[in-house]
Structure 1
């Protein structure tokens, strides 16, 4: 019965009004298996519903390039390729020639392509026409998002759906380097540097959700083409900057532990249990570190603490530094997030200095505490 209704809707779609050289307005509503949904203006022309392929592919990370004449569009995603020509009833899908039920056209700088071709090409399910709302609908579309970047002449690719990192050498040979442990939800940014000892460090970050309150960070250490250490950590809402090194040692923070890696050899030198020291089952920032002390803050709790690496003493800083309204706010606030707003600014001898970035009452004081206590 359900299939009969679907066929009836599609039959109604085929007789929707259109005029030669013009298109009637409609809507589309597509749902991806793991990547949300997208909808907007569709156009019906010659009995065929067209949707804006360029908008979808841009949104889901498939690269688009045009030929010099601006007539042939090439789309490349992770192991997915499409090639379409404006005005042509044939196209290319993953290296095969395919027939289209309608010729692609440009409307308001968007490339419109038959909806059923788009859904099929992106691995979706049945295409359904909702006559009441004049909306073409489909579910279970797949994302082929990938993120490419180049380091020292080698191509690195992160697959959005799987979170797997690949490297392609100068001969075009591709191999898997690492599993990041989670899919990439939205926009992946990348930074890298080569250490004095010859290690390659790659830092990746994915900010996602609405309004981008989820922050996922990845760090990989590569020696002689192999990933020898990696870490990832997820924070929500609060964004602080983690310490990345201590002298020549590299730091890897997974929110629960902090690892110290020797430059050159890649040897693991030390591991600090952040949860044990911080006292909260949470993901931790490490905002400053030295040989004798470090500053840590639980993501959800938000309280900055000073840990003495020699004595094991942990000091709750706002209780030592703040007074009156600022102290009360650190204890009771939950906007824009819980905790204090103390920011480390410098160290001089045994003294650590801080500013209080209290958001609702400007505080120009400089606060200090001695680590010799």
Structure 2
């Protein structure tokens, strides 16, 4: 969920912008019906959510209104200075600044010359005063292909535009972001341009991001994503950074539902891909232990890990969803709902199985000596605290 590079500063020099624009409309005394436009944004596979609208022409140059329909899809956010004449279009990994009435603009902090000056006018679609920019500049700034004319539909079309929609989180002056269209990871400090440092190679849908730090200075980015229709599938990504560089990562797909995985064990980081558990030493990022979940779980499956101790592990199979206690030395496993729940509750578990139903509603909490603590139906009016004594 790869793409062409986005850096266009060297490509879009003032000479290029000034010399390669060819007017869409020939000058004519006869009024010309404005073309509509279709801007298609690149995704890992194909296109998604194209921007549609109408163009206007002034003195041979075709303009497009930077209204909500276009900025939402492109990921550009427009802010104006107090005079209302200078507009900043910020897409985190792309920065544009223009001034109404001036052909001089800034693209990624580099001065460029536009084919015609931007202006403000009432957009018939939004019925608001909008910024109008030359459409070729918009397409090139977003990395798209040249405009082509679809004469049959009286439409201008450009493909492979780069949607700049990102998810961001900041920690101690550094902003981390993931691009939703393809999973590229960026960092930025202060007013500097964002720098691509890695990728999870995945298109994200209803996603969120969180960046934290470990006690010994590693940065951890966690990305959760609900996808599909009606968004019943869930996946998460964990990335570990050291001195700004990605050193470890894991991806787990829960398919139907959302799983829970422990994040730390004995002061170290836990990475789980559903098949292998890796214990990562804090500070260094070294892998100090691995646990074969296939071997412990008794077969090929995807396993979440809710509890980990030197002598046992608490896992949940994605297929049967049952929380299971496994002795790490002997491999003996205990399906916990059969030990902790009464007959009526067990019947509910067995008759209300996923994917359309619920799991066993058990949550591992902690260990105290030989006693393990669990919660049943956490957060509901039927919530109960349960215990299990290790033999």
Q: TM-score range by the shorter chain?
A: 0.7 to 0.9
CA contact (8 A) 1:49 1:115 kept: yes
Residue from 363, 374, 380 that aligns with 1:343: 363
Residue from 288, 291, 315 that aligns with 1:269: 288
1:200 corresponds in structure 2 to: 218
For 1:171-200, what per-residue CA distance to the aligned partner results, in whole angstroms no more than 9, with x for missing partners? 9698765x34324525451221231xx232
For 1:312-351, what per-residue CA distance to the aligned partner results, in whole angstroms no more than 9, with x for missing partners? 2222233443535753554663454564333334555424
SS of residue matched to 1:221: strand
For 1:44-97, what per-residue CA distance to the aligned partner results, in whole angstroms no more than 9, with x for missing partners? 466956343554344443454432323222224466443333455664545321
Length-normalised TM-score, structure 1: 0.73
Cα deviation for residue 258 of structure 1 reads: 1.3
CA distance in 1, matches of 2:33, 2:76: 33
CA distance in 1, matches of 2:261, 2:179: 26
2:384 corresponds in structure 1 to: 366
Residue from 361, 369, 377 that aligns with 1:356: 377
Cα deviation for residue 170 of structure 1 reads: 8.3
CA distance in 2, matches of 1:122, 1:165: 18
243-252 or 302-311: bigger deviation:
302-311
1:230 lines up with 2:249 in the alignment:
yes
After TM superposition, list the pairs within 5 Å mapping 1:275-294 onto structure 2: 275-294=294-313
Q: 1:155 to 1:139 in 2, by over 3 A?
A: closer
CA contact (8 A) 1:218 1:233 kept: yes
For 1:235-274, what per-residue CA distance to the aligned partner results, in whole angstroms no more than 9, with x for missing partners? 3341233211123222112222111233345443321112
CA distance in 1, matches of 2:180, 2:358: 32
Q: Which has the higher contact order (CA 8 A, sep 6+)?
A: 2
CA contact (8 A) 2:221 2:240 kept: no
140-149 or 233-242: bigger deviation:
140-149
CA contact (8 A) 2:276 2:290 kept: yes
Q: 1:237 to 1:135 in 2, by over 3 A?
A: farther
2:41 corresponds in structure 1 to: 32
1:123 corresponds in structure 2 to: 143
Uncovered stretches (5+) of structure 1, i.e. residues with no partner? 1-8, 19-25
Q: 1:346 to 1:202 in 2, by over 3 A?
A: closer
CA distance in 1, matches of 2:137, 2:41: 16
CA distance in 2, matches of 1:305, 1:138: 53
Residue from 70, 82, 90 that aligns with 1:68: 82
CA distance in 1, matches of 2:226, 2:130: 26
1:140 corresponds in structure 2 to: 160
SS of residue matched to 2:274: coil
SS of residue matched to 1:36: strand
Length-normalised TM-score, structure 2: 0.70
Residue from 197, 206, 209 that aligns with 1:189: 209
CA RMSD of aligned residues (A): 4.2
| Aligned residue pair count | 350
1:98 corresponds in structure 2 to: 114
CA contact (8 A) 1:42 1:52 kept: no
CA contact (8 A) 2:99 2:118 kept: no
Cα deviation for residue 149 of structure 1 reads: 4.6
SS of residue matched to 2:70: helix
CA distance in 2, matches of 1:322, 1:49: 70
CA contact (8 A) 1:42 1:49 kept: no
